[in-house]
Amino acid sequence: MTDKTILVIDDDPIFSKLMSRLFKVKDIETDVSATGIHALNLLKENHYDLVILDYYLPDILGDEVLKFIKGNQSLDALPVVAVSSSTDDKIKNDMLQRGVNHFLSKPISKQSLKEIFVEFGI
C-alpha cells in the first residue's frame, strides 16, 4: 500500500469518480473537491503528493487555485497537473507559464496518466 494522497479538483462528478477509481486501484488515497474554494481549504488542512486541477470551476478559475499553491512556500513544490476540456492554447500556455507540471486535455488518455504516475512515483 502506498502512502500517497492526491487531490482531484474538478466539478465534473464523472471525471472525479473515474480519477478516484483509477487511483484506488493503485492503493492511492484521493480527496475530491468540486469547487476551488473547497480545494483551497483542503490544501490548507492536508498534505498532498499531487493535484489534478481542472481549469474551469464553478466558483473560481483553476489559475486562482494554482496561484495559491505557487504563492505558498509550503506548497510551491507540490506537483500540479492541469486538465481541461477547452481546446484554447492560450489557457494551456498560461497555466504552463504559471507553473503547472503538465496540462492534459480531456478526455485524458491512459498513456498520459501512466506517464504522470511514473514521473511522480505514483
Q: For 37-47, what is each residue's pLDDT tens digit?
A: 999 999 999 99
pTM of the complete model: 0.93
Q: Where exactly are the structural domains of the chain?
A: 5-117
Fold of domain 5-117: Rossmann fold (3.40.50)
Q: For 60-88, what is each residue's pLDDT tens digit?
A: 999 999 999 999 999 999 999 999 998 88
- The SS3 of residue 33 is strand
pLDDT at residue 96 in the model: 95
pLDDT band at 113 (very low <50, low <70, confident <90, very high): confident
* Whether the Cβ atoms of residue 100 and residue 52 lie closer than 8 Å to each other: no
Judged against a pLDDT cut of 80, whether residue 1 lies above it is answered with no
pLDDT at residue 2 in the model: 66
Q: In the chain, what's the furthest Cα-to-Cα distance?
A: 39
What is the Cα Rg of the chain in Å? 13
What is the average pLDDT value for the chain, to the nearest integer?
93
Judged against a pLDDT cut of 60, whether residue 17 lies above it is answered with yes
CA–CA gap between residue 47 and residue 7 (Å, rounded): 9
pLDDT band at 90 (very low <50, low <70, confident <90, very high): very high
